[in-house]
Amino acid sequence: MVSQAYLDKMSARQGYRNLWRTDLMHSICADPAYCCFATLCAPCVSYLLRKRALYNDMSRYTCCGGYMPCSGRCGESKCPELCLCTEVFLCFANSVASTRFMLQDEFNIQTTKCDNCIIGFMFCLQQLACIFSLVACISGIDELQEASQILSCAADLVYCTVCACMQTQHKVEMDKRDGKFGPQPAMAVPPPQYMSRIDQPVPPSVGYPPPAPAAYPPPPAYGQQPYGSYPPPQGQGYPPAPAGYPR
């Protein structure tokens, strides 16, 4: 059963506005050697990328990144390396997806429409190959069995290709995070209307209230001297009248 926290993360992920440094179509061009490595040894690459995504701090490791019901219940705190090895070999697809979700949540990265189409095509092709295999087993027709085998090979080829490109995409994004493409521009605090998500209302203005308009001083109380009529300081006053001046 999917937890409410997971659903909240999925809904919040739709409001992300940052982009991957490279999309799935161009990830093989961004790092061809690593893409070949991810194709030939996909579980090892998934292990290395997950550990790197955790900043090499395995004490932070949780099975499948905390996105599965079994997360936190597999003894990760006692032996995280062994648990991660088990995850990448037995649940390879979930390990790749969990690393992807971790990076997206950390850097507010959205999945583009092109990436969604590629991932959706991979899933649809796998489902179609599974349906053809079931129909071929039930019917026993040789032509359908050959067609199902060809479709299964195509689905496996697309799956391996997409996973390799996806892991290369993750690696390039973490290279950017670690400053391997040079220093990143300084992050300036945007104005309030850009800090809020599109689905949120514009926040109210922040600041001190405007000063009150100037007003006349209140009248003095009974028995007090009016404003401005204080006696002059001691030692000052009018000069004495000259001699012979009539008083």
Q: How far apart are CA 229 and CA 217, in angstroms?
A: 14
Q: For 113, how many CA atoms within 13 A lie in the half-sphere containing its CB?
A: 0
Supply 40's token pair.
């030939």
What DSSP string runs through 36-52? HHHHHSHHHHHHHHHHH
**H-helix or E-strand containing 143?**
helix 142-177
- Write down the pLDDT at residue 5: 67
How far is it, in rounded angstroms, from Cα 99 to Cα 54?
A: 9
Structural tokens at position 167: 């892991």
Predicted pLDDT of residue 158: 93
Task: Return the pLDDT at 55.
Answer: 93
The predicted structure's pLDDT at residue 45: 96
- Does the pTM exceed 0.85? no
- Tens of pLDDT, residue by residue over 111-156, are 888 888 999 999 899 889 888 888 888 888 888 888 888 988 999 9
pLDDT score, position 84: 92
Domain ranges of the chain: 4-177
Low-confidence stretches of the chain (pLDDT beneath 70): 1-6, 10, 183-247
How many other C-beta atoms lie within 10 A of the C-beta of residue 49?
A: 25
> What pLDDT shows up at residue 198?
39
pLDDT given at position 70: 76
Euclidean distance between CA atoms 223 and 126, whole angstroms: 96
pLDDT score for 243:
57
